[in-house]
Amino acid sequence: MFVLSLYMLQSLVSSNENPFGTLLGSNNNVPSYSNGQLSYESEESNYIDNIYSGVKWQSLEYVRRWLIVSKSYTFADLKCASDIWHLSHISSTTDENQSIPLYRIPNGGPCPPSPGDIIVYKRSENSPTGHVGIINKVNSDSIEISEQNWDNNYWEGDHSREFILANLRGRNFLLDMEKPIIGWMTYQENVDEKCIDNKCATCSQFDSDLNADCLFL
């Protein structure tokens, strides 16, 4: 019943996208703005206290800005949202010599996500650069996330969307009816080794096309 009701709710949400720069919502004092259209690229850089957060108002920009504001962390500039799955470290904005491990946790593994983790979507036909967001709340059977440039609609409350977290025979699955999820990434300490893809087994291949939009397929 919960699966069906969430699916119906997602189907009923309006697809009318707000104009570029419209304030959609906020989580942890980090506002989310409309990108206007999903495929639009503004080529405008955004900065927080002189720290680069990304291109307005892409999903990567929101995640980086959320980390800058909430954790004093940042990460390297990337061509596409899905490319973040290949990172192994993020850095401190207050100590340039501090490097923080970033762990890949594949969808369907033994460990559930935690608040503050980065959800990562695969590249797909209707999402050619992938997508990322911040997991804000983890319930027993669902999660809440904040993000930018998903549907560019107003939020309800302090999160953009809520969808299913299912535990099937000890394995945890984030279920989105619209686009495929690779997994989530965490910078938390004391992560269980059995949950981590240290060898990048779930990583995609390098995109050898000279005109490729992303570094990886």
Note whether residue 14 is domain-resident.
no
CATH number for 191: 3.90.1720.10
- 158 within some domain: yes
1 occurs within a structural domain: no
What is the domain extent for residue 45? 21-195
Is there a domain that residue 123 lies in? Answer: yes
Q: Is residue 31 part of a domain?
A: yes
User: Is residue 16 in some structural domain?
Assistant: no
72 occurs within a structural domain: yes
Q: Exposed, middle or buried by CB within 10 Å (0-12, 13-18, 19+), for 209? A: exposed
Q: What is the pTM of this model?
A: 0.91
DSSP 195: G
Asked, for residue 40, whether it belongs to a domain, the answer is yes
Tens place of pLDDT for every residue, the chain, 217 residues? 444 444 444 444 445 689 999 999 999 999 999 999 999 999 999 999 999 999 999 999 999 999 999 999 999 999 999 999 999 999 999 998 999 999 999 999 999 999 999 999 999 988 899 999 999 999 999 999 999 999 999 999 999 999 999 999 999 999 998 999 999 999 999 999 999 999 999 999 988 876 678 888 8
The domain tally of the chain equals: 1
